[in-house]
Structure 1
Amino acid sequence: MAKELEGRRILLVIGGGIAAYKSLDLIRRLAERGATVRVVMTAGAQAFVTPLAAGALAGGRVYSELFSREDEQDVGHIRLAREADAIVVAPATADRMARMAAGMADDLAGAVLLAARVPVLLAPAMNPAMWAHSATRRNRERLAADGIAFVGPDAGEMAERGEAGTGRMSEPAEIADALAALLSPGEKPLAGRRAVVTAGPTHEPIDPVRYIANRSSGRQGFAIAEALAGLGADVTLVAGPVSLADPPGVSTVHVERAEEMLAAVRAALPVDIAVMVAAVADWRVESDTPQKIKKREGEAVPSLTLAENPDILKTIATGTPRPAFVAGFAAETEHVIEHARAKLARKGADLIVANDVSAEGGAMGGVRNTVHLVDANGTQSWPEMSKAEIAARLAEVIAKRLDAPTT
């Protein structure tokens, strides 16, 4: 395994949420990559995992008390903050984010974070309703504006029985990847480049309460937009209706219909890069009704006349001004690579990223994906990985393609 964090000193703040158990694995993941880990645990965290377990994995003592005479003489909260190369908060609860946004320092974790002069990475974890609340969104925006980095949260089943949505803490490997990227930004190969990315589904109205849609979460497109921005690109993200927070460092335009999405993409031109990830509805109702269509006993089922939606990928790939690099996604349930090859030729794109969205594939709405890159030179199949990892690798591929000499 690559030692991307060799010699790095990481301060891990474990917050008080059920996801604290994942932080034990995170300590191991960071150590595998060469990092030295110190641990601060909040009082809430100790209700879920023990300092003994965290200390055993980190190979050192765990700090928890702001007014501990022993701790302050040994290290002190200022030294804890200053002697780290980065601070990771995992899980970052809604309460911790609110305290950070307000600049509160009434416990050791708060004092350390307020004294920090190093990169800080938050891995939020909370109930989906709490993550979606306007107060949490304001706090996230405030923290992002203050330079705090985020990874996640992911979508899926929650600890509470019957709860699902966006709020799961990212997996430890994904957090370690995000930290490595944060600490080793290297050059910005896409600095000065402009990009447009589409993400999520479109909703095509039937009447005021019904619409045609699909199960796309938008997670892959959002991750690609953030990854391109991380390499220095000026990114516009055109997002259909999703429940994800706008990625930091990206200009996000929210739309609902396919026609609105095409208009927003055109408005973003000219760009160097276009990555069309959105699962755009192929059809719309030719004329949606202003009133709800009523179900009436004894009457025939109403018929819907469908019209074809604009082909956004083909329009951009064959239009003027054409981006230097155009990539599209192919969501398939069978013959994945074969259909992707046909789409590459039909749409005029430079690259098609194909994935299996059947129930067995699990990509649609999930947090992991398996993709195949199809271009004029052949097919490259990547192993299953998180959507954030796919986004990072794809952004690097795009940067290299743009830098490659033309023949």
Structure 2
Amino acid sequence: MQGKKIVLGVSGSIAAYKSAMLTRLLVKAGATVKVVMTPAAGDFITPLTLSTLSKNPVLTSFVRDETGQWNNHVDLGLWADALVIAPASANTAAKMAHGICDNLLLAVYLSARCPVFLAPAMDLDMLQHPATQGNLDKLRSYGNIILAPGYGELASGLTGHGRMAEPEEIFDALQKFFQATGRLHGKSVLITAGPTQEALDPVRFISNHSTGKMGFSLAEVFAREGARVNLVSGPTQQRAQHSNINVIPVVSAEEMYQASASLFSESDIAVLAAAVADYRPVEKAEQKIKKTDGNLTLALTKTRDIAASLGKVKRPGQVMAGFALETENEQQNALKKLDAKNFDLIVLNSLNDKGAGFGHDTNKVTILDHKHGVRTFELKDKKDVARDIVNAIIEKLHD
């Protein structure tokens, strides 16, 4: 949805409250949203609410009252990448089907050259009436996309079909539609994320402070670009939102290696963002280790180097990126790791940068490539950092 231009039409329905959440989802994903309301929609949600969420003025009539300027429906119809009418009342759907043009939203609809999505919302008997079904069939024949209403309790108190599709469902439908033209449509991406846990006994383990936020943010951006994403994740509270993301949960470094190795050969891109434990106990105690008066000495052995193992079998055309978290000689150490692991790109984090690294919603990175090119970015939200990284990987994919 990044950079997409969406006209959101809101008609008179109790479901209009859901348009606020849909607006927020679209804006948060990087879309530009312009809202057009029918006169009746203002009885259910205020233009102020939607203008605040969309960060654009809400249009409700052909003429702006305060200036007398014309709201150009033709320009809006040509500007949009998609017109989404949610909720679409029975009245609005009927007017659309028959070319009636008595408000600004309907004029935008008749001017639109972009795909049109409708999310009907009405009582079950209104939805099932032959007139409504005929109107929806006619709209489908025009090429409009109908987002089927859901089943549940309705404003009338009855239970049945007629509930507007949930904002998340509409958002997902738009994402899937735009994926066909995404820059990574048809590509397969492997991502590792989060920490690993190496067990000492049944209740204790060795781990680190990784939250998985960076890896999950990367997965979302790749999925929005149309890729199929396999996300191998250590223990984390993060949750994947996009339907194109397949999460494979693991715990230990060995489990992460086995899952990653099984997926690597089919992946066009691999991004190793996990903070894998470098050592594990030589032996795991079968029972809880009891506290004693003396010191406890643990024998540790190295875990398998996932990046190096995959780098050895990387095939031509694959792009592989890794991460380096450093505290000193940052670029020098990152370049050594890039060469040793056979990475195409490495993303450098420094714990010396405030707001970067584990546990933060922000990050500050430097991206280095195998030609030792260096690109430094400012401190950003991790979702924005993820876009910078994905853009760099896409550039490398087309080198």
TM-score, structure 2 length as denominator?
0.63
Q: Which residue is equivalent to 2:289?
A: 293
Residues 335/113 of structure 1: CA separation in 2 closer, same or farther (3 Å cut): farther
Partner of 2:164, secondary structure, is: helix
Distance of 2:193 and 2:378 partners within structure 1: 22
- Give yes or no for contact 2:149–2:162 (8 Å, CA) kept in 1: no
Q: Which residue is equivalent to 2:348?
A: 354
- Give yes or no for contact 2:350–2:357 (8 Å, CA) kept in 1: yes
| Aligned: 1:113 with 2:164 | yes
1:276 Cα deviation from its structure 2 partner:
0.4
Residues 81/307 of structure 1: CA separation in 2 closer, same or farther (3 Å cut): farther
| Aligned: 1:37 with 2:35 | yes
Q: Which residue is equivalent to 2:277?
A: 281
1:4-403 matches, within 5 Å, as 4=3, 8-10=6-8, 33=32, 35-38=33-36, 58-59=57-58, 103-104=151-152, 106-107=154-155, 113-114=164-165, 122=168, 143=169, 148-149=171-172, 187-246=181-240, 247-270=242-265, 271-296=267-292, 299-319=293-313, 324-357=318-351, 360-375=354-369, 376-403=371-398
1:112 Cα deviation from its structure 2 partner:
7.3
Letter of the 2:276 partner, please give it. V
1:38 Cα deviation from its structure 2 partner:
4.5
Letter of the 2:231 partner, please give it. L
Q: Deviations over 1:174-226 (max 9, x none)?
A: xxxxx9x7886573333343321101100111111111111111121122223
Letter of the 1:395 partner, please give it. V
Residues 335/194 of structure 1: CA separation in 2 closer, same or farther (3 Å cut): same
Q: Deviations over 1:155-174 (max 9, x none)?
A: xxxxxxxxxxxxxxxxxxxx
Unaligned segments of structure 2, at least 5 residues: 39-43, 61-86, 96-101, 118-147
- Give yes or no for contact 2:356–2:379 (8 Å, CA) kept in 1: no
1:78 Cα deviation from its structure 2 partner:
11
- Give yes or no for contact 1:11–1:86 (8 Å, CA) kept in 2: no
Q: Which residue is equivalent to 1:97?
A: none
Q: Which residue is equivalent to 1:136?
A: none
Unaligned segments of structure 1, at least 5 residues: 41-45, 88-99, 115-119, 123-142, 151-178
Distance of 1:307 and 1:344 partners within structure 2: 24
1:334 Cα deviation from its structure 2 partner:
3.7
Q: Which residue is equivalent to 1:138?
A: none
Partner of 1:241, secondary structure, is: coil
Letter of the 1:349 partner, please give it. F
Partner of 2:366, secondary structure, is: strand
Letter of the 1:228 partner, please give it. F
Letter of the 1:292 partner, please give it. K
Identity %: 28
Distance of 1:373 and 1:310 partners within structure 2: 25
Partner of 2:285, secondary structure, is: coil
How many equivalent pairs are there?
Answer: 319
Structure 1 window deviating more from structure 2 (268-277 vs 385-394): it is 385-394
- Give yes or no for contact 1:227–1:395 (8 Å, CA) kept in 2: yes
